Amino acid sequence: MGHEVGGTVVEVGDDVDIEIGTEIVLNPLVACEECSCCEESKYNLCRDLQVIGAQRPGAYAERVTAPASNVVPLPDGVSPQAAAVSEPVTVAFHAVMQSPLRDGHSVAVIGLGPIGLGLVQLVKAAGAGPIFASGHREARRELAAECGADVVIDPRETDPIEQIRSKTDGGVDVAFEMAGRESALNDAINATKPGGHTTLVGVFEDDVEIDPMDLVNNERSVNASAAYRTGPHADRDFSAVLEKFATGEIDHEPLVTSRIGLEDIVDDGFEALANADSGEVKVLVQP
């Protein structure tokens, strides 16, 4: 809780070379820098990873403490409020970098939470098209179109696989699974053309089943993307996204559907987001 955070530095420890008053975003992943993954510079896969907002106190507070190496200064023109929205977009950015996406590729985005909507903008900016976006909530499908999706699909009303195949040469080049559900995973895999690729980003809470022959018979490939770079590279992915915010290449505003105070976080935050009819996507909390 509170792992998506932008703010202003008010106090620093000894030997920390960051000026008081600097506006920043926090990379919430704190790597141990000692395990086998860290030794291979795979800091986001750290075996002893701690997360600000999980194993460490999060930012649903007036102040939060973080290692200096996890602090990323904001470029001109990017506010702490915008920085708080950069975390899910940075997850999406890392997923794009983990995928084989190229200019001109057709894309399916299955799942339209904040990360999925950010990903729609990123693949659009990368020159992908057509872009298909599938999600259950009407408000989020509307936002997906605003973010650059060419075709939006309600999977409860239309078979995403059939619709995507009918509008492409047998499927898309690259699909992104963003929902963490079995149906979304199978839709993403089967929405790709023979030889196509699927990148998994969603967080799965339950076991799922796929038919391996959907991969084998079509020589499809699958990989996964975990958050973003951290450790000594904690600024890399965040800085790339913040620069896109600064230049206007990515617009964070469509993702923010409400702004609330910390005292309203239950009724107007958690409960509103859990309500599929609320239309909420990202609720910005300003303590």
pLDDT higher than 90, residue 255: no
- DSSP lists the bridge partners of residue 132 as 108, 151
pLDDT given for residue 1 in this prediction: 85
CATH number at residue 262: 3.90.180.10
Mean pLDDT of the residues in the chain = 94
Looking at the structure, do residues 201 and 155 belong to the same domain, yes or no?
A: yes
Looking at the structure, do residues 218 and 242 belong to the same domain, yes or no?
A: no
DSSP assigned state of 185: H
pLDDT given for residue 219 in this prediction: 97
**Number of domains present in the structure of the chain:** 2
CATH number at residue 219: 3.40.50.720
Percent of the chain with pLDDT over 90: 87
List strands edge to edge, sheet with 131-134. 151-153, 131-134, 107-110, 172-177, 192-200, 221-224
- Domain-terminating residue out of 196, 224, 252: 224
- Whether residue 23 contacts residue 74, with contact meaning beta carbons closer than 8 Å, is answered with yes
Least confident of 36-40, 101-105, 270-274: 270-274
> What value does the mean pLDDT take over residues 26-31?
97
- The residue range of the domain holding 28 is 6-87+229-285
> What value does the mean pLDDT take over residues 256-283?
88
> What value does the mean pLDDT take over residues 3-32?
94
Looking at the structure, do residues 276 and 249 belong to the same domain, yes or no?
A: yes
pTM: 0.94
| Strand residue runs (E) in the chain | 6-8, 23-26, 29-30, 50-51, 71-73, 107-110, 131-134, 151-153, 172-177, 192-200, 221-224, 256-260, 282-285
pLDDT given for residue 281 in this prediction: 83
